[in-house]
Structure 1
Amino acid sequence: MTKALEKLEEKAKKAEKQIEDIVKVAHRLFEKNGYERVGMREISSAAGKSPMQLYRLGLDKQDLLAEVILRVNAKQIKNIKPFIPNQKLTTPQFIEAYLLDLYKQDIAIKGIRQEGAAFGWRWSGKYESLIIGQLMQILKPISDALLHEHYDDIEARCFGIWSLYYVGYRAAVMNDANAQGCLDLIKPSLKLLLRK
């Protein structure tokens, strides 16, 4: 029984490693050529696999894009600085600084963010749930700041702030705005959302 379990674990680890390698290849190709211009044959060829091997691993093109976005988000989450009550910054100032930092990070990976935004509607509900979970982690410092200052309707405010964030980010995608330009675009609406 133990040897059988060991073989299963070894097989699972090998599959995980293969998936990780394939996701890295897909990330590079999607970012360079765009989601629509990359096919499974191109991904499998660049990964040194056959398309059938990718499908046996349970991967299709939509799942690969979702896997790429999950990893991009995980990297961003890893770098998140939590909200710590501070006398130097008000809650609105903290939120502005936090969003400015997110803009800088997202502008640095604008190519893959564009692909995720344009084609994310194609991935399955499983991936949608995982990505929404990551969004909650990204919003946590904002939520914590609002909670600390006893704002009401925190969840609605967080979703409003996130919607505004994407309005600002559109300026980077469409007009090549920098992070400060994105933030400046949403500041008037952000002030309204942050009224007590």
Structure 2
Amino acid sequence: MKNVLIINGHEPYSFAPGELNASLVSQVSNFFSSRGAEVSITETAKAFDIEEELEKHVQADFIFYQFPIYWMGPPWRMKKYIDDVYTAGTNGPLCDNDGRSSRAPKHNYGSGGTRSDTKYMLSVTLNAPAEAFDDPNEYLLEGRSLDDLLLPMHTTARFFKMQPQPTFAAFDVIKNPELETDFDRLNSMLKALV
């Protein structure tokens, strides 16, 4: 991978200043930089230029989304980033409209993406234990997987025809963190990509 865009979607709070997400971003940046890739990092909690972000997406052959799960989804400024940048990218840099045609206006919605050469990976931190997922006996998620929870992010990437890579998660990061193991797992997953 020659051009890597890392999007750090952490939203800082006094109880969660973002050190873990920043450390994961640093690990990924160092990993790809050491292999000769050009790495660009965007922090969605800071001001950004929409046109500059679109250009980063056009140049990227790999996009790494790093964010915590807050209330079962990405933080609000990450969602705002997606709304602002990806809306500006329709009918141009990221897709040719929504894929429908005047001949078939009710079919092929979401198939107009132009980023089929771009791979992406979701990496999340969350307080939920891994055991909360994929178990129909667990109360909140009722057997849903982590990728089920992340379906809106995956569907957004699919809208632009980006190619998914395995999702990474650091589970239980507040009550029972296993950070050294998490960093090792992420490193192994990154090595499998290149």
Per the normalisation by structure 2, the TM-score is 0.30
Larger radius of gyration: 1
More strand, by proportion: 2
Per the normalisation by structure 1, the TM-score is 0.29
More helix, by proportion: 1
